Structure 1
Amino acid sequence: MRSLILLGLVGFAAQLVDGSLGMAYGVTSTTLLLAAGTGAAATSATVHLAEIGTTLASGLSHWRFGNIDWKVVAKIGVPGALGAFAGATFLSSLSTESAAPIMSIILLTLGLYVLIRFTAYGLPRGNLGKPLRKRFLAPLGLVAGFVDATGGGGWGPVGTPAILASGRIPPRKVIGSIDASEFLVAIAASAGFLVGLGSENIDFAWVGVLLLGGVIAAPIAAWLVRHIPPRILGSAVGGVIVLTNVRTLLRGEWVDAPGGVQTVVYVIIAALWVAAVAYSAREYRREKAIEAADAELLGSAPEEETARA
């Protein structure tokens, strides 16, 4: 019972982050399930089955708050589903021993990307209003869907920053559109795992608890996306993913590092993680101060023109 309650809290926290940032439900949940000793393919299958419900709830919540661009959902969702089905069947064919370190490497790469991307660059806002073309979104969806299924997460870490980097639609609509299109990806990945694994390797109690936690968090996250600083959250989540998957690799058969080496690596990563979050918080405050100063200057300009008249 205690493990189920903990899993429900993981689902709640992961969806809270995912719905606010447009990524990290799958990566966070998969990382923690792998750390608990669950097989790679079974872990990804469990997470994707839960995501069918969480992404539906998240998509509806984002739609209610006006956070979705349906043209983007259509152009990226179908290729994403094809990539996810292919990735699920590929992962199902690997042995558990082979798949676990491969998945950790994928997750570590995604975690580093999230950490560096949000810490160093924040959210780009140029090119707003320009259309996102199918020739950009379709290959992006195909790759993101494949990575998502093989890594137990990746739809958001691959898709969200790529669309944000274009600067063509507001960040809240990027996040809402990615979350809504992930519903198709979750269905396709789940179908691939059921074909490749069968249902006997999946713990449906875990699926249900993850789903429940995520569904409760979905409307809260859709509201928070208008208020929470994504730059700080991205740095924080990226650090969790990096630290957890480095731990998995260092303790695995591929590396099997001595305890002293592990401790030194953890301390270094933790220090860099704290520095990254602090830097993101400082840059966020600086950006807000600049925006406030610009708004004040714009507000005072009409008054000066009136005084001259």
Structure 2
Amino acid sequence: MSLLTQNNDDKIIDEGNGNELFPVFLKLQNFQTLLVGGGNVGLEKLSALLGNSPKAKVNVVADRFLPELKELVIHHPSVNIIERKFQDEDLNDIELVILATDNRELHEYIRKIAKEKGLLLNVADTPELCDFYLGSIVKKGNLKIAISTNGKSPTVAKRIKEVLNENIPNEIDDTLEQINKLRLTLKGDFSDKVKALNQATASLVSEKQPDKNLKPATLSYIIWSFVVVFAAIIFYVLWKEEPVFRNYVAGVNPQFYWFLIAGFIFAMIDGAIGMSYGVTSTTFSLSMGIPPASASTAVHISEILSNGIAGWMHYRMGNINKKLLKLLLIPGIIGAVLGAFLLSSLEEYAHYTKPLISLYTLILGFVILKKSGVLKLKNAKAGPKIKKIGVLGFTGGFIDAVGGGGWGSIVLSSLIAGGRNARYSLGTVKLSRFFIALMSSLTFVTMLNGLHWYAVAGLVLGSAIASPIAARISNKISAKTIMVAVSIIVILVSLRSIGKFLMAF
């Protein structure tokens, strides 16, 4: 474990010549640590120690303890709680000391004794009394990165930690394991081993670097602006000069334009937060009087093109985990086809299935709200990395087909909650969604008669226009506000649909 862990002790120190701190990674199970303090700061310090070194040997001394700290200690037999005030003999046989109380006089007293014994000391929020600081840690399996800003800005250290956590995939640990296995098989002297490892890892950085003189994002916006302006001019000319075109447009079902706008908006939202296109489109379709099976059909057909475009964009940007894609795809397709078959068979009972689908979208609304961070479960922690990807894919595909959406909400949320890299999970789920939507759409079209094609066409065109734009801005929009707004709309519309059904009796 590093002396730089997950707290913000490194406040401002002397200017010096840059950062003069020396980072060290300690095996805390080989040391005896004393932690004085059982309140919020003590809990924070102990959580940081055990989060990085679960077998760390720690004596915690305090006259009172938070229940959460006692609960944490239950799972760590190497931690010993001493419920009383600090005594001088607590420093006997101790090698590291961490002080986490609000009593500065006590801190100064303990520091004096600790220095006489030659002990290293950390004092919460008092850098002038510290021998080492606890900073920010990025942990990905066997990879651990300690971050320090020399006390200049703990906030910047946190932001750097977030960026690294987001962009370093969890799969990096698999890479480290493979490289280690390769290293153990190498023969020859140190120079030969270095050359062999360089050759083995060269492919990781061999991709062509973009031309720094070009600005792809700016160029993309310019191209799309010209496309939109050109389309508007063509439409205006045809409307003004071609009576046949005017008559054709006038004959289009007016609801087509609502679905066109809705498809564009929902695809943009989906690109920003990585989910909710299915649930928002289905909720909207049901509110417009479309039966459940037809609504799901319209949503899935529109997702073929939009997710194909978005998936290709993510593939070009390197956001695809190919191994994860293979594990999701076949089970997801099987689940989607079975779900589509079941819902199509019940189309004649749409009066009864519609409130059930509305109940499902209501649940998904709360799922999205929870994911936004507004709803938080007490002591909620990220679950273990999901191993049964096939089961997740089948479940997500089946529920997605039956409910008209949920692949993103269920599969993406589960992957991220299980510790998967958010960017790679988003790209992989988007690309796999193309195949899921394709197969479920084929099932719906084969079994259903009288599809509402104006809804299909509106969602297809709207989402297709938005998809490449949404893929570009997916990492540039703060998603929390969007997620809260979407979840509230979905919840209210779903409740309205359920209420109308109940009032009919």
Tell me, in whole angstroms, the C-alpha distance in 2 between the residues paired with 1:222 and 1:121: 28
Match of 2:322 in 1: 70
Letter in 1 for 2:358: S
**Is the CA contact 2:290–2:452 (under 8 Å) kept in the aligned structure 1?**
no
In the TM superposition, 1:201-240 aligns within 5 A as 201-240=450-489
Report the Cα offset of residue 52 of structure 1. 1.1
The structure with the largest helix share of the pair is: 1
1:43 matched residue in structure 2 = 295
Larger RCO: Structure 1 or Structure 2 (Cα < 8 Å, ≥ 6 residues apart)?
Answer: 1
The aligned counterpart of 2:375 is 120
Q: Distance in 1 between matches of 2:403 and 2:503?
A: 20
In 2: Cα distance, 1:161 partner to 1:148 partner: 14
Shift of 1:70: 2.2
Structure 1 window deviating more from structure 2 (230-239 vs 183-192): it is 230-239
Question: Match for residue 105 of structure 1?
Answer: 359
Equivalent positions of 1:53-92 (< 5 A) are: 53-92=305-344
Larger Rg: 2
Alignment partner for residue 447 of structure 2, among 196, 207, 214? 196
2:390 alignment partner in structure 1: 138
Q: Could you say what secondary structure the match of 1:167 adopts?
A: coil
Aligned to 2:408: 156
Provide TM-score, normalisation by structure 1. Answer: 0.74
Q: Give the CA deviation at 1:225.
A: 1.3
Residue 281 of structure 2 is aligned to residue 29 of structure 1:
yes
* 1:212 counterpart letter in structure 2: L
Q: Is the 8 A contact 1:26 1:153 kept in 2?
A: yes
Structure 2 Cα separation of the partners of residues 49 and 235 of structure 1: 27
- CA spacing shift, 1:152–1:126, aligned 2, 3 Å: closer
Once the two structures are TM-superposed, the CA of residue 50 in structure 1 deviates from its matched residue by 1.4
1:169-195 deviation per Cα after TM superposition (whole angstroms, max 9, x unaligned): 1x2222111111101110121122123
Cα shift at 1:121: 5.4
SS at match of 1:248: helix
| Aligned CA-pair RMSD | 2.3
Q: Is the 8 A contact 1:10 1:210 kept in 2?
A: yes
Shift of 1:108: 0.7
1 CA distance for matches of 2:450 and 2:353? 15
Please tell me whether the aligned partners of residues 89 and 195 of structure 1 are also in contact (alpha carbons under 8 angstroms): no
Q: Partner of 1:228: helix, strand, or coil?
A: coil
Structure 1 stretches of 5 or more lacking a match? 258-309
Aligned mates of 1:19, 1:201 — CA distance in 2:
31
Structure 2 SS opposite 1:38:
coil
**Separation in structure 2 between the aligned mates of residue 174 and residue 12 of structure 1, nearest angstrom:** 23
Q: Secondary structure at the match of 1:120?
A: coil
- Deviations along 1:18-54, whole A, 9 cap, x unmatched? 1222211111111111001111111111111111111
- In the alignment, which of 488, 493, 504 is matched to residue 244 of structure 1? 493
Instruction: Please report how far the alpha carbon of residue 256 of structure 1 lies from its aligned counterpart in structure 2 after TM superposition.
Output: 4.8
**Which amino acid letter does the alignment assign opposite residue 177 of structure 1?**
T
Q: CA deviation at 1:201?
A: 2.0
Checking the alignment, whether the CA contact within 8 Å between 2:258 and 2:458 is kept in structure 1 is: no
Q: Distance in 1 between matches of 2:355 and 2:394?
A: 23
In the alignment, the residues of structure 2 paired with residue 78 and residue 17 of structure 1 have an alpha-carbon distance, to the nearest angstrom, of 27
Question: What CA distance in whole angstroms lies between the structure 2 residues aligned with 1:223 and 1:145?
Answer: 26
- TM-superposed CA distance for 1:75, in Å, is 1.1
C-alpha distance in 2 between matches for 1:36 and 1:233? 23
Matched, 1:178 2:432: no
Match of 1:17 among 269, 274, 285: 269
User: Structure 1 residues 78, 255: closer, same or farther in 2, change over 3 A?
Assistant: farther
In structure 1, how many angstroms separate the alpha carbons of the residues matched to 2:353 and 2:442?
19
String of CA shifts for 1:98-136, please: whole Å, max 9, x gaps: 2111111111111111112222359x9989xx9x66x42
Look up the equivalent residue of 1:194 and give its one-letter code: V
**Gap regions ≥5 residues in structure 2:** 1-251
The structure with more strand, counted as a fraction of residues: 2
Kindly provide the CA deviation profile for residues 39-96 of structure 1, in whole angstroms up to 9, marking residues without a partner as x: 1111111111111111101111222333222222221122111111111111112111
* TM-score, scaled relative to structure 2: 0.46
Counterpart contact for 1:125–1:167, Cα < 8 Å: no
Residues of 2 paired with 1:18 and 1:5: CA distance? 20
**Partner letter of residue 216 of structure 1?**
I
Q: In the alignment, what sits opposite 1:273?
A: none
Partner deviation per Cα, 1:262-294 (whole Å, 9 max, x = no partner): xxxxxxxxxxxxxxxxxxxxxxxxxxxxxxxxx
Partner of 2:223: none
Preserved contact between residue 61 and residue 218 of structure 1 (Cα < 8 Å): no
Asked if structure 1 preserves the Cα contact closer than 8 Å seen for 2:255 and 2:455, the reply is no
**Quick check: 2:256–2:457 contact (8 Å CA) kept in 1?**
no
Q: Secondary structure at the match of 2:275?
A: coil
